[in-house]
Structure formats: structure tokens, C-alpha cells
Structure 1
């Protein structure tokens, strides 16, 4: 049976939700994230804002310098999670084999569904129509026999795009792309490849693996070689996703700045905390770091109480970061996972405890905070510090 993978990506998700909820914002540059004048980053921005060069994870100060006329809004994670849950439920109507990769991204195994939904193009158009009717939002879909090429394809025709790569055409599809479109190849890697005379994926396809290994190391070379040829280098571990939830951020430029890593961890923590509001959580937290040489480490720890709030998740992730990263190795990707998901009721601190558990109480408090638009509150010790050692919150 021919494999068929759909990679579904919501278009400028947070900003698009704000434009749907507030129609007067349509056509305007909308930036969701930290407030101007505060330290922080852009979480998501609308396509109107991207025309000014803005992008996710950009420092908010730089975003404001480029687009002072933009509409800057706080993150409303509970609202985004509500819409995300509605969309994921729609996707499950098309296949039970759905793997939610983040709050705005999913991988669908559509193998064998042709008798239900027809050819992939027909199925994809029906999915897009259903989501637009239910939410007013647009999505972009990439279709291929493997997950990596499907992910690349979903990003090529945004917004509201559909890109289908037919079986057997993966190598030719990748060959037409510039290096900038090769997911996983950061700026330093591209610069190194440029020094070898490589400026396109087609040229990379012709480079001997042995030469790549000398220049980049074995792990990075094999990853790039497989990716360039349109093979899946294994970017998604979907087997464990039914019992875990995770989020990742890939940096446009590899970074050794601790604050940039913490800013990314904060965004991921917010997303995961919003997803725990559904009623599931875990007491095992994992941190993933992929370095500039494509080597990767995974570290985790467990505790008795469930991780419920964004602050708890962030605190645990920062602890793992500080224990396992000395600042010398540039980081390409960072991620957090919550593993061994269970209903929050399973984390009762005592068999005979009366009333809600501490985890359940925390969940209710965080849900109330988020519903009032205060979901970006963080512990003061995670805020950037000035030269005197004081955080913004302390000044």
C-alpha cells in the first residue's frame, strides 16, 4: 500500500485567530508576543507584519523598530488552544492516525484512506474547506510519501497552500529548492556549504557524503544528505506521541545566548501548559537540544507532582538546560516534552485526600489566569537581569 503523509500547518496561527476574533485587525500588521518596551520575543505575526521583515522569535525591540505601526497583542494561549483542539478534532475525522506536533502543526497518516476521501488532492481540499467553515482560518498542507518532504511542501505555498509531491518525485522536488528551504540547515551550515560552492539543494545532492562528513561531521552530513535526496532523516518520533506532548523551536541562526534559549522555552512552556488544560499532564519532563553540528541530546527528570502551569514547566526546563549546556556549543533547536500523560486525577497526592489535588488546583488557577489575559506571568527569576542584577520585575 502506498504511504501517504499530510503535514498540516496553520497559517500565522496566533495572529490569524486575533484577526478572526477582531475583524477590524484584518489587513493590519498584527504581532503576538511581548509588549513593546519589554524584553521578550515575537511569538507569531501576521503576513502583513512579515512584509516588514518580522518573524517568530525576533526580539520585540527589533520588531517595533521595523514596524512601529503594528498592533502588538499579548499571547492568549487558552484561546489558541481552544481553536487548535477544534481543528485537531476535524483532522481526526479524516484519519485516526493523527500526530499533533505542536499547537499549530500536525502530521496525518492518510495511507489507505483513498476509498473514503478520494485522491490526496481531494482529501486535502475537503480538510481545508472544513477548517475554514468551522473557524474561518486557513491552513497549508504538504503531501508526500514521507514526513520530511511533506513538511517542506507545506511551507512552500503559504498561506492557504497545497503542495503535493508525487511518489518518485521527491528528489527532483528537493533539487528545485534553494538551501534556505532545506529544513534543518541553519545559517552557519549554509555558509559552510556556500564555501564549498554549494548554493542549492541540487548542488548538495551531488556532493559526496564523505566530503560532507569531513566538513560537518557524520551526524550532520547524513542528515543533510538524506534530506537533500528527499528521504526522511527521521525528524519526527511519532511512535511515542500518543503518551506525550512536546514542542520545539528551531532558530534561524544557531545561538549561544542563554536568554534566547529561555525565551524559546517560555513560548513552548506556554503552549504545553495550555494543552494540559484539557485535563492530562505528566510528572516527567524532557529537554531536547540539537546543536550546530546536528548532534542531539535528550535529558529528563521526574517528580511526584504533575507539571501543570507554564511556570512549572519553564522552571524544570531551565534546570535541565543549566545542568546540560555550558554555553559553548551553539544551539540549533530546543524542545520540551511532557511524557507519560495521564489524567490529572491520577496525580492525587494521597489516596484518601479530600477535594482537588494540588495539581488540579493549580490547573484551575492557571486556567483562570489565562482566561483573564494574564497568561504571560512568569517567575521573576526567569526575567532578564540588568547589570546590577535586578530583573525587570524587580525594578
Structure 2
């Protein structure tokens, strides 16, 4: 196997940002989400909170019962995106072969760079030190010959981990089936019914037999995963024709609040990349992969160019309603835009700017200010507490 792929994963990112911005929270169980007594789920939590059994997607009412001393902080997505953008720039400076896959994760391809940068583990330590020194945050890095193994490796010694896979089969055999990225509860149940209880046993089956038992897509995925071969969990997209971002869930999800939150994060990332890249697009694309590995893609072309992350999010929600029954677990969500063009004048007949176009101009102005004035913090007034707005 060849290649040197890094998977970089910021540890408990939202909660860690809250602790870094407010040092009095360090070492304490921080829970990011609505205050107890309100409906909603946990968006993220610190490792101190995880010791109480709290995890993302959990109702805040249950989190409050498990950890009465937990400190609940509201979601500050603009702040997380701001920090994420700066960290991703640092990572992208290391290698031009860079793929951000979520607000707190990225792949770096450092194949063939050992003479330039040194051994992979040395580069990993350098990255961790650089991010810790500048941002005060820890991250975990997995290093392997492909993205799939690198992703598993970053989870292996979390938090603040650094692990390189040199013997893929030996590494996989240390893990349990539930540790394999992309294998959800329904797949585990089906494998248990077939008396397949370990990765070693899974690997003993041929591709044809697995496909006959698990379906063509599922069988192929399991066959490749058990052998440390990348089943294609993250794909690259031609940037000249489209911009997209995907999220593969560690466990299949059907919680509507968590799924909507993911759509919002993806929409914000895509709109930011459109603005920074100087692109405009009028076609939104939604990709959904269900628990049985079947995948569907749907798109909508508007009569005008997408103008804000809010608008892209609304369109993505509309497309999701057409493709999801609300109960079938989802393993992957993707949002994208196609038919990219450079900005021009208003379309013929559009004599007046609508509200969404004004929103795009505001978002573009904010982006430009952040580029010019590093460290500048800008927050929507609607996200500020009443006392902050009223003085």
C-alpha cells in the first residue's frame, strides 16, 4: 500500500472553543446546546461531560439529568466557523492536496513529501504543536495509506492522539466491528444474525457472498473495509464545476434536529466557499445515503443565483423533505452547488434586489472584513443575548 494520508480531527471542537474563549470552563463538563428546560439536543460536549455518558444528539433534558453540574452554552456557529476557517488555512498551507470534509475535519495528502518535511509522525507532531500554540486547541491525527484507514486511526487514540497505521490488517484486527466507520446498528444486527462478530470473520467471506447477504453496495463496502481498502467514504469533487461538502455519520441518524443542524453547517460551509472563491450558482444539490447504502441525489435550479447560506439551507430542507420519510436512518448527507459562474450583473428583468440578495452582500462584506482584519469578531444581532443588545 502506498500513500501518506493524514486525517486531522479537532477534539470536541465546539466545546473546546467555548473553553478556550472562557478559560474558567477548562476542565469542566461543558455542554453545547439549548439550556435545560428547552426542547433540543446536545450539539457537542467536552470530554469531561462525556464521562457522564453525554453525547451529541442526546436530548438536553437527559443530559441535564446525567450531569446536573454540566455547564450549558449556546451554539455559536459563527464563532466556530471563524476558528475553523483559520485552522483550515493553516492546514492547507502544509500541502496543496487538501480536503476539508466538515467544520472540524480534513484530509491532507502528504505522499512523497518525506524528504521535504520529514517522517510522517514528525509532521503530525508539528501540526499538533502549531495548532495548539496558535489556537489553544488539541486535535487528533490518523496517518495511513488511504482516507478510510486514516479516519479510523484518528479515532484510535483520541483525544489529542497521533497514530500511524503501518500494518493495516494487524490494525483492523485490534478493532471491533462497531469501530468500523460507516457500520451502523442495523448493519451490526444483520451481521450478528449471520454470526459475523469480528473483522477477522467478516474478512473470511468473499465479495460475492457478502453482496448476496448484504446487498451489492453494502457487501462491497464491507468487503473493502475489512481489508483496509478505501470503500470511498469521502470523494473529491471537481471544483471548476461544483462545490460540495459531505458528512458521513459514525452511526446512522434519524433525529430530525441533528440532521437539520448538519444541513445548516454544510450550507454555511458551501456559501462561504462560494463567496471566498468568487463564484455564484443557481443550482443546489442534496445527496442522501440511507442505512442500506442506497444513495439518492436531487437538485433544484432556481431562477436566480443563490444569495445566502439561509437560502441554500431552505432549499436543502425542501429537497430533503422530498427524499426522506423522516424515519429511515441516514448514514451520509451532502450539500452542494453546480453550474458555477463568475459574478456578473443582475439577471435581465430583476430591477430590484430582493432580501436574499441583500443577505449575500452582507455575508460577502463580512467575509471580506474577516480577510482584511484577522481576529475581527462579527456576530449577528439575533445571536446576541438581549442584555448585550440593550446595553
Q: TM-score range by the shorter chain?
A: 0.7 to 0.9
> Is the Cα contact below 8 Å between 1:42 and 1:57 reproduced in 2?
yes
Partners of 2:13 and 2:256 lie apart in 1 by 27
- Runs (5+) with no aligned partner, structure 1: 378-395
Partners of 2:262 and 2:107 lie apart in 1 by 22
Residue 336 of structure 1 and its aligned partner are, at CA, apart by 2.1
- Runs (5+) with no aligned partner, structure 2: 368-376, 386-391
Task: Give runs of aligned pairs for residues 59-70 of structure 1, distance below 5 A.
Answer: 59-70=59-70
Aligned residue in 1 for 2:263: 265
Aligned residue in 1 for 2:71: 71
Aligned residue in 1 for 2:323: 324
CA shift digits 1:5-38 (9 cap, x unpaired) = 1111111111111101100000111112233333
Residue 337 of structure 1 and its aligned partner are, at CA, apart by 2.3
Partners of 1:162 and 1:348 lie apart in 2 by 49
Residue 130 of structure 1 and its aligned partner are, at CA, apart by 1.0
Partners of 2:38 and 2:267 lie apart in 1 by 19
CA change 1:267–1:103 in 2 (3 A) is closer
Q: Between 60-69 and 196-205, report the one with greater CA deviation.
A: 60-69
Aligned residue in 2 for 1:96: 96
Aligned residue in 1 for 2:249: 250
Residue 324 of structure 1 and its aligned partner are, at CA, apart by 2.2
Q: Between 154-163 and 33-42, report the one with greater CA deviation.
A: 33-42
CA shift digits 1:108-147 (9 cap, x unpaired) = 1101211221111111111111111111111111111111
Partners of 1:99 and 1:9 lie apart in 2 by 12
Residue 164 of structure 1 and its aligned partner are, at CA, apart by 0.3
**Alpha-carbon RMSD:** 3.1
Partners of 2:56 and 2:341 lie apart in 1 by 31
Residue 376 of structure 1 and its aligned partner are, at CA, apart by 10
> Is the Cα contact below 8 Å between 1:41 and 1:263 reproduced in 2?
no
Residue 254 of structure 1 and its aligned partner are, at CA, apart by 4.7
Partners of 1:342 and 1:86 lie apart in 2 by 26
Within the candidate set 358, 362, 375, 2:359 is matched to: 362
Aligned residue in 2 for 1:208: 206
CA change 1:349–1:43 in 2 (3 A) is farther
Partners of 2:37 and 2:378 lie apart in 1 by 22
Q: Between 271-280 and 130-139, report the one with greater CA deviation.
A: 271-280
CA change 1:208–1:376 in 2 (3 A) is farther
Local SS of the residue matching 1:58 = coil
Aligned residue in 2 for 1:82: 82
